[in-house]
Structure 1
Amino acid sequence: MTTTSKPNPLVTYGLFLAWAVHDAEELAFGPRWLRENLPGLRERFPGVPEAVWKAAESVDEREFAVAVGVMAGIVGAAAVAGARSGGRSAFYQGAVNGFGLHGLVHLAQAAAVRGWTPGSATSPLVVVPFALWARGRLRRAGVLRPVGLGGVAAGLAIAAGATVVSHAVGRRFASYF
Protein backbone atom coordinates (compact mmCIF):
# COMPACT_ATOMS: atom_id res chain seq x y z
CA MET A 1 0.00 0.00 0.00
CA THR A 2 1.32 3.44 -0.86
CA THR A 3 0.37 6.75 0.59
CA THR A 4 0.99 10.17 -0.80
CA SER A 5 3.41 11.95 1.51
CA LYS A 6 6.51 14.04 1.27
CA PRO A 7 9.72 11.98 1.35
CA ASN A 8 12.53 12.76 3.78
CA PRO A 9 14.87 15.50 2.44
CA LEU A 10 17.69 12.93 2.41
CA VAL A 11 15.86 11.26 -0.48
CA THR A 12 16.01 14.44 -2.55
CA TYR A 13 19.15 16.26 -1.37
CA GLY A 14 20.81 12.87 -0.93
CA LEU A 15 21.07 12.68 -4.71
CA PHE A 16 23.59 15.52 -4.62
CA LEU A 17 25.44 14.00 -1.65
CA ALA A 18 25.71 10.57 -3.30
CA TRP A 19 26.79 12.20 -6.57
CA ALA A 20 29.49 14.23 -4.74
CA VAL A 21 30.97 11.11 -3.13
CA HIS A 22 30.96 9.32 -6.48
CA ASP A 23 32.41 12.20 -8.47
CA ALA A 24 35.15 12.72 -5.88
CA GLU A 25 36.44 9.30 -6.96
CA GLU A 26 36.20 10.25 -10.63
CA LEU A 27 37.82 13.64 -10.06
CA ALA A 28 40.69 12.15 -8.08
CA PHE A 29 41.56 9.46 -10.59
CA GLY A 30 39.80 9.99 -13.94
CA PRO A 31 42.16 11.92 -16.23
CA ARG A 32 45.33 10.26 -14.92
CA TRP A 33 43.83 6.76 -15.20
CA LEU A 34 42.71 7.49 -18.74
CA ARG A 35 46.15 8.78 -19.79
CA GLU A 36 47.89 5.78 -18.28
CA ASN A 37 45.48 3.22 -19.74
CA LEU A 38 44.64 4.71 -23.13
CA PRO A 39 47.28 2.75 -25.11
CA GLY A 40 46.07 -0.55 -23.71
CA LEU A 41 42.43 0.39 -24.22
CA ARG A 42 43.08 1.30 -27.85
CA GLU A 43 44.77 -2.04 -28.43
CA ARG A 44 42.08 -4.01 -26.63
CA PHE A 45 39.12 -2.25 -28.28
CA PRO A 46 40.19 -1.61 -31.89
CA GLY A 47 36.60 -1.12 -33.05
CA VAL A 48 36.19 2.13 -31.13
CA PRO A 49 36.26 5.07 -33.57
CA GLU A 50 39.46 7.12 -33.63
CA ALA A 51 37.49 10.28 -32.81
CA VAL A 52 36.57 8.78 -29.43
CA TRP A 53 40.22 8.04 -28.62
CA LYS A 54 41.29 11.55 -29.71
CA ALA A 55 38.63 13.14 -27.51
CA ALA A 56 39.67 10.96 -24.56
CA GLU A 57 43.35 11.83 -25.08
CA SER A 58 42.65 15.52 -24.91
CA VAL A 59 40.85 15.56 -21.53
CA ASP A 60 43.07 17.12 -18.90
CA GLU A 61 42.57 17.75 -15.18
CA ARG A 62 41.30 21.32 -15.66
CA GLU A 63 38.72 20.36 -18.26
CA PHE A 64 37.59 17.43 -16.16
CA ALA A 65 37.28 19.62 -13.05
CA VAL A 66 35.18 22.20 -14.90
CA ALA A 67 33.00 19.41 -16.30
CA VAL A 68 32.48 18.06 -12.78
CA GLY A 69 31.52 21.57 -11.65
CA VAL A 70 28.97 21.86 -14.46
CA MET A 71 27.55 18.46 -13.55
CA ALA A 72 27.34 19.62 -9.92
CA GLY A 73 25.02 22.37 -11.09
CA ILE A 74 22.84 19.94 -13.02
CA VAL A 75 22.61 17.40 -10.20
CA GLY A 76 22.14 20.14 -7.61
CA ALA A 77 19.28 21.62 -9.62
CA ALA A 78 17.67 18.18 -9.86
CA ALA A 79 17.98 17.67 -6.10
CA VAL A 80 16.41 21.08 -5.41
CA ALA A 81 13.59 20.34 -7.89
CA GLY A 82 13.00 17.08 -6.04
CA ALA A 83 12.92 18.77 -2.65
CA ARG A 84 10.58 21.55 -3.81
CA SER A 85 8.17 19.09 -5.41
CA GLY A 86 8.17 16.54 -2.60
CA GLY A 87 10.00 14.12 -4.88
CA ARG A 88 7.42 14.43 -7.69
CA SER A 89 9.63 16.34 -10.13
CA ALA A 90 10.20 14.44 -13.38
CA PHE A 91 13.61 16.14 -13.62
CA TYR A 92 14.58 14.88 -10.17
CA GLN A 93 13.27 11.35 -10.73
CA GLY A 94 14.95 11.22 -14.14
CA ALA A 95 18.22 12.30 -12.50
CA VAL A 96 17.90 9.56 -9.86
CA ASN A 97 17.25 7.00 -12.59
CA GLY A 98 20.07 8.31 -14.77
CA PHE A 99 22.45 8.35 -11.80
CA GLY A 100 21.68 4.73 -10.93
CA LEU A 101 22.00 3.61 -14.54
CA HIS A 102 25.27 5.54 -14.82
CA GLY A 103 26.52 3.45 -11.90
CA LEU A 104 25.70 0.29 -13.84
CA VAL A 105 27.63 1.68 -16.82
CA HIS A 106 30.67 2.14 -14.56
CA LEU A 107 30.39 -1.48 -13.45
CA ALA A 108 30.13 -2.60 -17.09
CA GLN A 109 33.25 -0.56 -17.91
CA ALA A 110 35.15 -2.21 -15.06
CA ALA A 111 34.02 -5.63 -16.30
CA ALA A 112 35.07 -4.77 -19.86
CA VAL A 113 38.60 -3.80 -18.77
CA ARG A 114 38.68 -6.56 -16.14
CA GLY A 115 39.65 -4.20 -13.38
CA TRP A 116 39.00 -0.99 -11.55
CA THR A 117 38.02 2.12 -13.49
CA PRO A 118 37.34 5.58 -12.04
CA GLY A 119 33.86 5.49 -10.60
CA SER A 120 33.63 1.72 -10.30
CA ALA A 121 34.41 1.62 -6.56
CA THR A 122 31.64 3.99 -5.51
CA SER A 123 29.09 2.66 -8.01
CA PRO A 124 28.19 -0.54 -6.11
CA LEU A 125 28.70 1.10 -2.70
CA VAL A 126 26.97 4.48 -3.22
CA VAL A 127 25.46 5.10 -6.66
CA VAL A 128 23.31 2.02 -7.26
CA PRO A 129 22.25 1.58 -3.60
CA PHE A 130 21.26 5.26 -3.34
CA ALA A 131 19.20 5.12 -6.54
CA LEU A 132 17.41 1.95 -5.42
CA TRP A 133 16.83 3.35 -1.91
CA ALA A 134 15.55 6.69 -3.22
CA ARG A 135 13.20 4.96 -5.67
CA GLY A 136 11.89 2.79 -2.83
CA ARG A 137 11.27 5.84 -0.66
CA LEU A 138 9.52 7.63 -3.52
CA ARG A 139 7.40 4.53 -4.13
CA ARG A 140 6.41 4.36 -0.46
CA ALA A 141 5.54 8.06 -0.55
CA GLY A 142 3.27 7.36 -3.52
CA VAL A 143 5.10 9.74 -5.88
CA LEU A 144 7.33 7.43 -7.94
CA ARG A 145 6.68 7.61 -11.66
CA PRO A 146 6.71 4.21 -13.37
CA VAL A 147 9.73 3.52 -15.57
CA GLY A 148 9.53 1.13 -18.48
CA LEU A 149 12.11 0.31 -21.13
CA GLY A 150 11.59 3.76 -22.68
CA GLY A 151 12.27 5.36 -19.30
CA VAL A 152 15.47 3.38 -18.92
CA ALA A 153 16.61 4.50 -22.37
CA ALA A 154 15.64 8.09 -21.53
CA GLY A 155 17.55 7.91 -18.23
CA LEU A 156 20.69 6.70 -19.98
CA ALA A 157 20.28 9.33 -22.70
CA ILE A 158 19.84 12.12 -20.14
CA ALA A 159 22.90 10.99 -18.17
CA ALA A 160 24.95 10.75 -21.38
CA GLY A 161 23.68 14.12 -22.60
CA ALA A 162 24.50 15.81 -19.29
CA THR A 163 27.99 14.29 -19.48
CA VAL A 164 28.51 15.52 -23.04
CA VAL A 165 27.29 19.03 -22.17
CA SER A 166 29.47 19.12 -19.04
CA HIS A 167 32.58 18.13 -20.98
CA ALA A 168 31.80 20.56 -23.81
CA VAL A 169 31.57 23.39 -21.30
CA GLY A 170 34.68 22.07 -19.54
CA ARG A 171 36.63 22.04 -22.80
CA ARG A 172 35.47 25.57 -23.66
CA PHE A 173 36.17 27.16 -20.28
CA ALA A 174 39.05 25.16 -18.75
CA SER A 175 41.62 27.55 -20.14
CA TYR A 176 40.18 30.32 -17.96
CA PHE A 177 41.09 28.48 -14.75
Structure 2
Amino acid sequence: MKKVAWGLLAAWIVHDLEELATMPSFSRSPDLPQPLPKVLPMSGGEAATAIGLTGVVMAAASAAGAATGGRSRFFQASLIGFGWHAGTHLAQSAVLRRYTPGLVTTPLVVIPYSVWAWRRLKAAEVPIAPSDRRLDVALAAVVPLAHVVARLPRLRRRLRTSSRMNR
Protein backbone atom coordinates (compact mmCIF):
# COMPACT_ATOMS: atom_id res chain seq x y z
CA MET A 1 0.00 0.00 0.00
CA LYS A 2 2.99 2.31 0.26
CA LYS A 3 3.10 2.55 -3.55
CA VAL A 4 -0.56 3.58 -3.60
CA ALA A 5 -0.05 6.12 -0.81
CA TRP A 6 3.13 7.71 -2.16
CA GLY A 7 1.69 7.42 -5.66
CA LEU A 8 -0.83 10.07 -4.63
CA LEU A 9 1.99 12.53 -3.99
CA ALA A 10 3.83 11.51 -7.19
CA ALA A 11 0.69 11.90 -9.32
CA TRP A 12 -0.08 15.22 -7.66
CA ILE A 13 3.48 16.49 -8.34
CA VAL A 14 3.32 15.59 -12.05
CA HIS A 15 -0.11 17.19 -12.37
CA ASP A 16 0.81 20.33 -10.49
CA LEU A 17 4.06 20.81 -12.38
CA GLU A 18 1.87 21.26 -15.46
CA GLU A 19 -0.26 23.76 -13.55
CA LEU A 20 2.82 25.61 -12.28
CA ALA A 21 4.21 25.87 -15.80
CA THR A 22 0.97 27.15 -17.33
CA MET A 23 -1.05 28.96 -14.66
CA PRO A 24 0.66 32.38 -14.72
CA SER A 25 0.37 32.86 -18.50
CA PHE A 26 -3.14 31.37 -18.59
CA SER A 27 -4.36 33.65 -15.82
CA ARG A 28 -3.23 36.74 -17.76
CA SER A 29 -4.76 35.62 -21.06
CA PRO A 30 -6.74 38.47 -22.62
CA ASP A 31 -9.36 36.16 -24.11
CA LEU A 32 -10.70 34.95 -20.74
CA PRO A 33 -14.29 36.05 -20.08
CA GLN A 34 -14.79 38.98 -17.70
CA PRO A 35 -14.50 39.22 -14.70
CA LEU A 36 -12.07 36.28 -14.66
CA PRO A 37 -8.96 38.30 -15.56
CA LYS A 38 -9.48 40.52 -12.51
CA VAL A 39 -9.78 37.50 -10.21
CA LEU A 40 -7.28 35.03 -11.67
CA PRO A 41 -3.99 36.73 -12.50
CA MET A 42 -1.17 35.00 -10.65
CA SER A 43 2.52 35.55 -10.82
CA GLY A 44 4.83 32.57 -11.04
CA GLY A 45 5.75 33.09 -7.39
CA GLU A 46 2.12 33.16 -6.33
CA ALA A 47 1.39 30.00 -8.29
CA ALA A 48 4.42 28.29 -6.74
CA THR A 49 3.33 29.34 -3.24
CA ALA A 50 -0.24 28.09 -3.72
CA ILE A 51 0.98 24.82 -5.21
CA GLY A 52 3.58 24.39 -2.48
CA LEU A 53 1.04 24.94 0.29
CA THR A 54 -1.28 22.38 -1.28
CA GLY A 55 1.69 20.04 -1.67
CA VAL A 56 2.28 20.07 2.08
CA VAL A 57 -1.24 18.74 2.57
CA MET A 58 -0.81 16.12 -0.16
CA ALA A 59 2.50 14.97 1.34
CA ALA A 60 0.86 14.66 4.76
CA ALA A 61 -2.03 12.69 3.27
CA SER A 62 0.38 10.37 1.45
CA ALA A 63 2.40 9.84 4.63
CA ALA A 64 -0.80 9.04 6.53
CA GLY A 65 -1.78 6.56 3.85
CA ALA A 66 1.65 4.90 3.90
CA ALA A 67 1.66 4.68 7.71
CA THR A 68 -1.80 3.06 7.84
CA GLY A 69 -1.67 0.80 4.81
CA GLY A 70 -4.15 3.05 3.02
CA ARG A 71 -6.67 2.99 5.88
CA SER A 72 -6.26 6.62 6.91
CA ARG A 73 -9.46 8.61 6.51
CA PHE A 74 -7.31 11.66 5.67
CA PHE A 75 -5.52 9.73 2.90
CA GLN A 76 -8.73 8.29 1.48
CA ALA A 77 -10.50 11.66 1.52
CA SER A 78 -7.51 13.24 -0.24
CA LEU A 79 -7.51 10.43 -2.80
CA ILE A 80 -11.22 10.98 -3.46
CA GLY A 81 -10.68 14.73 -3.80
CA PHE A 82 -7.75 14.28 -6.15
CA GLY A 83 -9.76 12.00 -8.40
CA TRP A 84 -12.91 14.10 -8.40
CA HIS A 85 -11.03 17.32 -9.08
CA ALA A 86 -10.32 15.91 -12.54
CA GLY A 87 -13.90 16.87 -13.31
CA THR A 88 -13.18 20.52 -12.54
CA HIS A 89 -10.34 20.55 -15.07
CA LEU A 90 -12.48 18.96 -17.76
CA ALA A 91 -15.43 21.27 -16.97
CA GLN A 92 -13.26 24.42 -17.00
CA SER A 93 -11.90 23.57 -20.41
CA ALA A 94 -15.35 22.70 -21.74
CA VAL A 95 -16.87 25.96 -20.46
CA LEU A 96 -13.98 28.11 -21.70
CA ARG A 97 -13.55 26.02 -24.85
CA ARG A 98 -9.80 26.07 -24.51
CA TYR A 99 -6.83 24.63 -22.69
CA THR A 100 -6.79 25.28 -18.95
CA PRO A 101 -3.91 24.50 -16.56
CA GLY A 102 -3.85 20.83 -15.62
CA LEU A 103 -5.89 19.64 -18.60
CA VAL A 104 -3.14 17.51 -20.19
CA THR A 105 -2.24 15.53 -17.06
CA THR A 106 -5.87 15.06 -16.01
CA PRO A 107 -6.57 12.18 -18.43
CA LEU A 108 -2.95 11.02 -18.51
CA VAL A 109 -2.16 11.00 -14.77
CA VAL A 110 -4.99 12.05 -12.43
CA ILE A 111 -7.75 9.77 -13.69
CA PRO A 112 -5.60 6.66 -14.35
CA TYR A 113 -3.80 6.95 -10.99
CA SER A 114 -7.07 7.47 -9.10
CA VAL A 115 -8.74 4.44 -10.72
CA TRP A 116 -5.63 2.32 -10.15
CA ALA A 117 -5.30 3.40 -6.51
CA TRP A 118 -8.93 2.57 -5.63
CA ARG A 119 -8.62 -0.80 -7.39
CA ARG A 120 -5.47 -1.58 -5.42
CA LEU A 121 -7.15 -0.62 -2.12
CA LYS A 122 -10.16 -2.80 -3.00
CA ALA A 123 -7.97 -5.74 -4.08
CA ALA A 124 -6.07 -5.51 -0.79
CA GLU A 125 -9.41 -5.45 1.06
CA VAL A 126 -8.56 -2.14 2.70
CA PRO A 127 -11.72 -0.91 4.44
CA ILE A 128 -13.02 2.33 2.98
CA ALA A 129 -13.43 4.90 5.73
CA PRO A 130 -16.83 6.55 6.01
CA SER A 131 -17.03 10.14 4.86
CA ASP A 132 -16.36 12.78 7.50
CA ARG A 133 -18.04 16.08 6.50
CA ARG A 134 -15.62 18.19 8.55
CA LEU A 135 -12.62 16.57 6.88
CA ASP A 136 -14.25 16.82 3.45
CA VAL A 137 -14.95 20.53 3.94
CA ALA A 138 -11.44 21.18 5.29
CA LEU A 139 -9.84 19.42 2.32
CA ALA A 140 -12.11 21.18 -0.16
CA ALA A 141 -10.92 24.49 1.32
CA VAL A 142 -7.20 23.72 0.94
CA VAL A 143 -6.74 24.91 -2.66
CA PRO A 144 -8.83 28.10 -2.39
CA LEU A 145 -7.09 29.00 0.88
CA ALA A 146 -3.68 28.32 -0.64
CA HIS A 147 -4.52 30.71 -3.50
CA VAL A 148 -5.66 33.40 -1.06
CA VAL A 149 -2.53 33.02 1.08
CA ALA A 150 -0.34 33.15 -2.05
CA ARG A 151 -1.96 36.45 -3.07
CA LEU A 152 -1.83 38.11 0.38
CA PRO A 153 1.41 40.02 -0.24
CA ARG A 154 -0.05 41.53 -3.43
CA LEU A 155 -3.32 42.38 -1.68
CA ARG A 156 -1.41 44.05 1.16
CA ARG A 157 0.58 46.13 -1.33
CA ARG A 158 -2.64 47.22 -3.02
CA LEU A 159 -4.17 48.20 0.29
CA ARG A 160 -1.07 50.21 1.26
CA THR A 161 -0.99 51.92 -2.13
CA SER A 162 -4.68 52.81 -2.04
CA SER A 163 -4.46 54.11 1.54
CA ARG A 164 -1.50 56.34 0.57
CA MET A 165 -3.45 57.69 -2.41
CA ASN A 166 -6.46 58.47 -0.21
CA ARG A 167 -4.44 60.60 2.22
Q: Which TM-score band (shorter chain)? A: 0.7 to 0.9
> Does 1:79 find its partner at 2:71?
no
Cα deviation 1:5-48 (Å, max 9, x = unaligned) = xx2x21000000000000000000012112114x4322xxxxxx
For the residue of structure 2 that corresponds to 1:115, the secondary structure is: coil
Counterpart Cα distance in 2 of 1:80 and 1:174: 33
Q: Conserved in 2, the CA contact under 8 Å of 1:63 and 1:173?
A: no
Unaligned 5+ segments in structure 2 are 156-167
Question: What is the deviation of 1:104?
Answer: 1.5
1:136-151, aligned counterparts within 5 Å? 136-145=119-128
Tell me the percent identity: 38
Unaligned 5+ segments in structure 1 are 1-6, 43-49
Q: Conserved in 2, the CA contact under 8 Å of 1:66 and 1:173?
A: no
Return structure 1 stretches of 4+ with deviation > 6 angstroms.
none
Cα deviation 1:101-121 (Å, max 9, x = unaligned) = 111210111111222111010
Q: Conserved in 2, the CA contact under 8 Å of 1:107 and 1:120?
A: yes
The equivalent of 1:3 in structure 2 is none
The equivalent of 1:45 in structure 2 is none
Pairing partner for 2:85 from 74, 89, 102: 102
Higher relative contact order (CA 8 A, sep 6+): 1
Cα deviation 1:71-100 (Å, max 9, x = unaligned) = 110000000000001000010011111001
* 77 and 15 in structure 1: CA distance in 2 versus 1, 3 angstrom threshold: same
Q: RMSD of the alignment, in Å?
A: 2.5
How many residues in Structure 1 have an aligned counterpart in Structure 2? 154
Letter in 1 for 2:45: R
